[in-house]
Amino acid sequence: MTRICFRYLALALVRWSGVLISLVLLVEFSFCVVGGSNRHVWGFDVYQSIPLELSVQPISWWELIAERSGATLLALAIAYGGALLFGYAWGILAGRFRRFRAASIFSLPFSLFSCVPGFWFVVLVAIHSYVVWKRPGFANELVVESGPNLLAWWNAAVVALPAMAVATAWQLRSVAGAIENEASRPFVKGLYLTGYSEDAIFYNNILQRALPGIVSLLDRTLPLVLGSFIFLEWAFHYDGVGSLLVESVRLGFYPGIVVSGMWMATLATAVTMGRQVVAKLLQPVQ
Amino acid sequence: MANRRTSKLEKWAVHALARLWEIRNVLFLAVPYFFLLSWLFLGSSSIDSRPAEIFSVPESPVWAEPDSIHWFGTTGSGVDLFQLTRLAMGTSVAVAVVCSFFGISTAMLVVALFAFDSSEHRFRPIFVFSRAGFLLPAMAVLVIFAGGSGGSLPFAMLGIIVVTGFYLAPMIANWFEEGGKGPEVLAGFGLGLSWQDMLVGRVLPKVLRRLVGMFAQLVPVIILLEMALSFMGFTGDRLGVGAMIAYGQQSIIEAPWLAVCPGILASVVVAALSLLGAMVSKVTRSGLLPRHF
Amino acid sequence: MLWLRALFFASPLAMVLGAVWLFDRVTELQLSDDSEALIYAIEEPIGYLNPLVPQTGITREVTDLLFEPLLVRDDDLNLRPNLIDSWTSRTLITIRCASEEAAGEAESKLRSGEYLDEDMVVLDVTREENVLMIVLDGFDSTLETRLVGNFDPENLGDYRLIRLKVTNSVRNSLEAFLSASVEKSQIAMLEYEDDRTANMFVRGDIDLFLRELNLYYESNASLDPRIEEVGEISHTSYREMLMTLRSDVNWHDGTRFTVDDLIFSYNELTRPNSPFGFAGSFWFVEELKKVDPYRLRIACGDTPATMMESWEKLPVIPKHLMSGGIENADWIEFFRKPIGNGPYRIERRRRDGGIELAANEMYFRGPPLQSEVIYRQIGSLESVLLALRADRIDAIVPDMRFTDWSERNPGVMRELRCLPRYQHFVAWNLDRPPLDQRGVRIAMAQAVDLDVVRRDTATGFQTPTTSLFFPGMPYVGDPMQLPTHDPRSADRDLEESGFAMDETKGVRVSEDGVPLKFTLTINEESEEHLRMAEALTEQWASIGVTVVVEPMSWSRILTEKLVTRDFDAVMLEWEIPFERDRLATWHSTSIGAGGGNFCGLRNQVVDETLEQLRYEEDLDAVKVLTGRLNGGIGGLQPCFFVCDSGRVLSLRRDGIEVVRPVKNGEPVVQPIGVGKAGLQNVRPWWVRKRIVQPSEENSPPDQP
């Protein structure tokens, strides 16, 4: 177990380092080679104090990252957690009722919602707040000065919902697809002919055999959710890591770009590593 | 009853009807595409397409709420919002088609560099590189590239093409691998055909058929990407649905329809293209297209 | 197992239910009711509330509400008591008479008024043997000369005054000398002015004594002795001011404001290594001595007419909180939530970067009627409009979008323009060619059409510069005449200065072929200066002058450019002070380290005018001097004055009135305005007009 963990940790570190180098090169290429900026990534003057545009109060790096990470992690818990919950629960259910095209039916509302531009959805929520609730609608306009911060959950939920819809649609179809692949093998017909019940065949055979494949889908939607957060947070004026990336790009603030990009990459790396360890442990011993 | 000689015209008509029936799936899919794209691309282009000009609010704005004449209302300078949105959607679809095409071409090019190698792990570099690259969200790469290069449409399109190619290459490589293990390929080996012959004659046609479905499904995704970049201001000062919604935000209290209505049309068009794309993909994968497609 | 499966498949519905519950609760959320507070919508977070450093904008406004100045300006811009309740100035003259009898005779003549001129007011006369000590009211520099001149010469002692100055401990070294001195019998009287100065009144043949004194102190060269034979003088004088503070002023934590706070603030701000730059304004102060908790004696080595203007500038901070070897971090933390003594105190800092203030119940003029003021940072125009509709905002720091909206919707807001008290200018380095030539500087001014450069923004307006002095000051004479826009004259001036136009290249070149070019340094954090620099550069280019704009951080401008005077031209901004003393800015002695004369102006007429301005008491004469200074600077053009600027605020129409409390009387209600002295005089008295509902209008008034 320890060897497996160390092996995947080393692999994760190599990939993480590759992403860091690629990100730095991307910033340099985009801003300096293509954009014509005189400020290079290796220039000392680039690493100055945090611009005031990025925070309401004078703030240290650690405080900025902690504040933004907290906000994004809350939204991520809702979006990614929801995608996994809906995706796996209803994906397996869709696999069970594959004869009735349950996967298409269950994923239809999420797929339709995915066609709605996420940034437009959050702007609609803000407009609704202004017009119907007569309250400021964007995330940074109302600050709860005292009492339980229900508004923080609401703001996180608004940002998470469009990302969750896209991720859930994909996750649901992928889980159902993996189960259907397994269900189309010849042994299933054999079990039917032998006289096993539908439930027994599905839960005791198909699902168990499909488990490694399903587990391998655990981390696939995370980059999609994180990528969606970039424009969703910015559209809703939600102070998270995604909006930090956009604001840093607009300001040409390289440290902000690298920090926010690597924050996302670190999270994806950690989850991927976890998935690989779990998948390895679930693999049947040869 | 004696044999009745059928006329040439009759023969031709029956033959044509049979062919039409054969390609009914194609027709069923092509007609809505044709109508949708015609409607989008044939919109009025005489309007000044710079959002900063269109959405600048004069001292005495003449905006109108949605009504029977102006379905989406008008801007502060009196321009019909529905026509503007149609024009913007047309541009977005055109951008998406171009980016999809070149993105898929880029992916095919990359895969082709490795496909003709007959070794078992010929696509390993692609898979290794992509596993690391997937850790950084594609949107982050696009935002950095488009924003850093000055926020213009050509660079945004270039970024989308490169990112699309990067994400599609492993998928296409998988198709080549699956195709390379099919029964007809094994039979070809038995007959003594070379790897190049089998690749070109047996694997590639199947991959190309699936590319049609991939292309159709990719277009709505890239439309959403382009709208998001346009909303963030990374596609230059040109008319796009994202830019329209961004500008509409500035008048939420006075004219909320400026931000609301463009999104409605965008959602409908993207949903329609997604549905059509799903059907095209299903048809190409399940072999319902006639042999000459 | 079926129930487990059902639970698993139904679990996503729990999330849906949670979402519905959240939506329900959020729908019921209400905004907090701040209906009694005066609410101010701000654009940027409020920074550190530090009265010791120059500030602008909302941070300055809040700081002025928290800290009370020592003196204030009334509506005619005359200086009036505030924390300082009263002050008197006195001249103490010590006269050494020939003998005790002579002293007695002189005393009686003094008391009878025989020795006194009309303007001399004697506060006290004391006699000790042959020494008379006379206290006269006022600081007139001619007092002692005239008084002594009125004495009968035979009554005065014939002494020669020898003044000894050393670096320190003059008493120790002099007593050591005297203990061994042979000639010390020449000394009739000995007086110690302070720790460094001793006055010896000697009689008879003093040459031997001086020789002995010189020999002794030459062997003590480390004391840096200076021995001065002042002359035949039988008197010394000493000037002091007696300042009385108000006894009813408290800090926000209830501690009484006393002389200790004033002395502490003075010492902190004027010590040699102080970063605050106040030392130069108090050169005339020799010593501060506490008389009692509310009275302070100030020994003055000089008596400029502008003394009280220096005290006006001095901010006061609480000694009981800031003394005792506190660290830098403590200072920073203090200025985040400072304890002041002004009409408002800080209730709390808001999470949105704003601040909540509450009226100071212990305020010595009476607590403001507006009990709460809230500065809120509101993120968008939409929220501002929502709040306006619900009457939840009374004042706004506008941005361009809001300004556009209010132009489209007239009648909702009212614009309030504060005084234009910030001056923007380009300081030339007069020691660097080609700007050392007056003709070039005049040409640079003539080449620019300032109407094109000046621009009103959402938060500020810009007006032409007319004077070096605060607008409306009673002591200001003729305005500053600046060169008018005249490109032809600019061409001619440049030609006469030796810079001809090279038509092929479109630039001016000297006779040696060197192009006319300089670098303009600007503060990179100031968008307005960047815009101005670009506009100026464009206009100067039209007459063939090449300007390279060099944006730089303010700290670098201070350390690398201004202190070392290593620049061609730098764009600066300063707040126009109330005071008339400008010696530190324009006098030739202020060039170099520690001085404010960055331009390096050296002009005898300007120097003399500045020196006279410091001491002149007559208002009409002051007006002539200020007019002369305006004229001199305008003519010499050491700076190119771009504009004066002021703040713009947007107030809800008929939403605020000014109510000044009057002790034991009815409050005085005035319409909203700025006043001659600026916003800080009226701002504490802003009161939100209560929005009267229609039903209230019809209901009968409450019976007592």
Q: Considering chain B, what percentage of its residues have pLDDT values greater than 90? A: 34
Closest CB to B135 among A114, A224, A265: A265
> Which residues of chain B neighbour C407 with C-beta distances below 8 Å?
59
Q: Is the pLDDT of residue C353 over 60?
A: yes
Using a CB-CB distance cutoff of 8 angstroms, which residues of chain C are in contact with residue B254? 405
> What value does the mean pLDDT take over residues B200-211?
82
| Domains: count for chain B | 1
Is residue B267 less than 8 Å (CB to CB) from chain C? no
Q: Which of residues 28-47 of A touch C (CB under 8 A)?
A: none
Q: Is residue C243 helix, strand or coil? A: strand
Within 37-56 of C, beta carbons closer than 8 Å to A belong to 44-45, 47
For an interface test with B, give the residue of C381, C388, C407, C412 to mutate (most B CBs within 10 A): C381
Q: CB of C275 within 8 A of CB of C53?
A: no
Chain B residues near residue A120 by CB distance under 8 angstroms = 245, 259, 262-263, 266-267
Burial C309-326 (b: 16+ CB within 10 A, else e): bbbbbbbbbbbebbeeee
3-state secondary structure of A6: helix
Model confidence over C50-87: pLDDT tens digits?
A: 998 888 889 999 999 999 999 999 888 889 999 999 99
B-C interface: how many C-beta pairs under 8 angstroms?
14
Domain edges within chain A: 1-37+253-286, 70-140+148-251
**Torsion over CA of C443, C445, C450 and C454, rounded to 10 degrees?**
140
Over C151-197, what HEC string results?
Answer: CCHHHECCCEEEEEECCCCHHHHHHHHHHHCCCHHHEEEEEECCCCE
B57 in reach of chain C (CB within 8 A): yes
Q: Has residue B28 been placed in a domain?
A: no
Which residues of chain C lie closer than 8 angstroms to B57, CB-CB? Answer: 404, 408
d(CA A261, CA A24): 10
Whether B293 maps to a domain, the answer reads no
CATH of the domain at B138: 1.10.3720.10
Q: Which residues in chain A touch residue B141, judged by CB atoms under 8 angstroms apart?
A: 26
Give pLDDT tens digits along chain A (286 positions). 788 788 888 988 999 999 999 999 999 999 999 988 878 887 766 666 777 677 766 677 888 889 899 999 999 999 999 999 999 999 999 998 888 888 889 999 999 999 999 999 999 999 998 888 888 888 887 777 667 778 889 999 999 999 999 999 999 999 999 998 888 888 888 888 888 888 888 888 888 888 888 988 988 899 999 999 999 999 999 999 999 999 999 988 899 999 999 999 999 999 999 998 888 887 765 4
* Inside any domain, residue B24: no
Q: What is the pLDDT of residue A46?
A: 66
Which token pair is C689?
Answer: 């007009």
Residue B70 confidence (pLDDT) above 70: yes
CB-CB under 8 Å, A143 with C351: yes
What is the pLDDT at residue C31? 64
Residue type, C114: E
Report how far residue C242's alpha carbon sits from residue C249's, in angstroms, rounded to the nearest whole number: 19
Give which of C367, C358, C364 is closest to C337, Cα–Cα: C358
Which of C12, C353, C380 is nearest residue A138 as measured by Cβ atoms?
C380
CA distance B55 to chain C (A): 13
Residues 159-188 of A with CB under 8 A from C: none
Closest CA of chain C from A21, distance in Å: 31
Question: Strand pairing partners for C81?
Answer: C71
Length of chain B: 293
CB contacts, 8 Å: A130 with chain B:
252-253, 256
Q: Span B25-35, mean pLDDT?
A: 78
For residue B189, being part of any structural domain is answered with yes
C552 has a chain A CB within 8 A of its CB: no
Interface of A with B in 267-286 (CB under 8 A): 268-269, 272
Q: How confident is the model at residue B286 (pLDDT cuts 50, 70, 90)?
A: low
Q: List CB contacts (< 8 A) between B163 and chain A.
A: none
* Chain B hits for A228, Cβ within 8 Å: 139
Q: What is the value of ipTM here, to two decimals? A: 0.90
B267 with A117: Cβ contact below 8 A: yes
Interface partners of chain B (CB pairs < 8 Å, 3 or more) are A, C
pLDDT by residue (tens digit) across C102-111?
888 888 888 8
The pLDDT, as a whole number, for residue C326 is 58
A144 compared with C246, residue with greater pLDDT:
C246
Task: State residue C701's pLDDT score.
Answer: 41
Is position B145 within any domain? yes
Residue C566 DSSP SS3: coil
Is the pLDDT at C704 greater than 50? The verdict is no
> In the prediction, which pLDDT does C503 show?
85
Structural domain containing residue B271:
36-284
Looking at residue C56, its pLDDT comes to 85
What band does C27 get if pLDDT is binned at 50, 70 and 90? confident
CB contact under 8 A, A16 and B135: yes
Q: What is the pLDDT of residue C325?
A: 60
Give the A window 170-229 contacts with B, CB below 8 Å: 223-224, 226-228
* Chains with ≥3 CB–CB distances under 8 Å to C: A, B
Quote the tokens at residue B26.
Answer: 């194609």
Q: Which residues of B touch C408 (CB under 8 A)?
A: 57, 59-61
Q: Cα–Cα distances in Å, from C447 out to A203, C125, C491?
A: 89, 66, 8
What is the Cα gyration radius of chain C?
33
Tell me the CB-side half-sphere exposure of residue C539, using CA atoms within 13 A.
20
Minimal Cα–Cα distance from B108 to chain A, Å?
Answer: 23
Residue B8 confidence (pLDDT)? 86
pTM for this entry: 0.75
Quickly count: other Cβ atoms within 10 Å of residue C242's Cβ.
14
Radius of gyration, alpha carbons of chain A:
23
Q: How far is CA A198 from CA A172, A215, C128, in A?
A: 21, 23, 125
C52 Cβ neighbours under 8 A, 6+ residues apart: C269, C276, C315, C317
Residue B5 lies in a domain: no
Interface contact flag, B59 C386, Cβ < 8 Å: no
C-chain residues near A154 (CB < 8 A): 22-23, 26
Chosen for mutation from B128, B129, B136 (greatest number of chain A CBs closer than 10 Å) is: B136
Banded pLDDT at B64 (limits 50, 70, 90)? confident
Give the per-residue pLDDT at A56.
62
If we measure between CA atoms, which residue out of B163, B219, B244, B111 comes closest to residue A30?
B163
Q: What is the CATH number of domain A70-140+148-251?
A: 1.10.3720
- Count of all residues that appear for chain A in the document: 286
Partner-chain contact A117 B242, CB within 8 Å: yes
C9 touches chain A (CB under 8 A): yes
Q: A119 and B227 in contact by Cβ < 8 A?
A: yes
Query: Could you give the CA distance from residue C645 to residue C642 in angstroms, rounded to a whole number?
Result: 10
Q: Which of B184-188, C24-28, C450-454, C575-579 has the weakest average pLDDT?
A: B184-188
CA distance, residue A19 to nearest chain B CA (Å): 7
Instruction: Decide if B3 is inside a domain.
Output: no
Instruction: Considering only the beta carbons, identify the residue of B57, B252, B253 that sits closest to C404.
Output: B57
CB contact A254 to B (< 8 Å): no
The average confidence (pLDDT) of chain C is 87
Tell me, what DSSP letter sits at residue C97?
B
pLDDT tens per residue across span C289-334: 999 999 999 988 888 889 999 999 999 999 999 887 656 778 888 8
Mapped to the 3 state alphabet, what secondary structure does chain B carry?
Answer: CCCCCCCHHHHHHHHHHHHHHHCHHHHHHHHHHHHHHHHHHCCCCCCCCCHHHHCCCCCCCCCCCCCCCCCCCECCCCCEHHHHHHHHHHHHHHHHHHHHHHHHHHHHHHHHHHHCCCCCCCCHHHHHHHHHHCCCCHHHHHHHHHHHCCCCHHHHHHHHHHHHHHHHHHHHHHHHHHHHCCHHHHHHHHHCCCHHHHHHHHHHHHHHHHHHHHHHHHHHHHHHHHHHHHHCCCCCCCCCHHHHHHHHHHHCCCCCHHHHHHHHHHHHHHHHHHHHHHHHHHHHHHCCCCCCC
Q: What percent of chain C has pLDDT over 70?
A: 96
Residue from the list B149, B155, B232 with its beta carbon closest to the beta carbon of A246 = B232
State which amino acid sits at residue A123.
V
CB A151 within 8 A of CB C29: yes
Put simply, the answer to whether B267 touches A249 (Cβ < 8 Å) is no
Q: Tell me, yes or no, if A34 comes closer than 8 A to chain B by beta carbon.
A: yes
- Residue B291: pLDDT over 60: no
How far is residue C581's CA from residue C304's CA, in Å, rounded to a whole number? 10
Contact C379 A141 (CB under 8 A): yes
Pairwise CB contact (< 8 Å): C386 & A130: yes
Q: How far apart are CA C347 and CA C355, in angstroms?
A: 8
Which residues in chain B have their CB less than 8 angstroms from residue A245's CB?
140, 143-144
Q: How far apart are CA A240 and CA A259, in angstroms?
A: 12
**Which of A140, A150, A203 is opposite residue C29, by nearest beta carbon?**
A150
Nearest chain A residue to B150 by CA distance is A35
Tell me the nearest-neighbour CA distance from C400 into chain B, angstroms.
12
Q: If you count residue pairs, one on A and one on B, with CB atoms under 8 Å apart, how many are there? A: 146
Subunits next to A (3 or more Cβ pairs <8 Å) are B, C
Minimal CA separation from A16 to chain C, in Å: 33
Supply the pLDDT for residue C692.
43
Residue C277 is encoded by which pair of tokens?
């730059």
Contact C633, C468 (CB under 8 A): yes
Write the burial class of residue C563 (CB in 10 Å: 0-12 exposed, 13-18 middle, 19+ buried).
middle
Contact C383 A153 (CB under 8 A): no
Residue C702 in this model has a pLDDT that exceeds 50: no
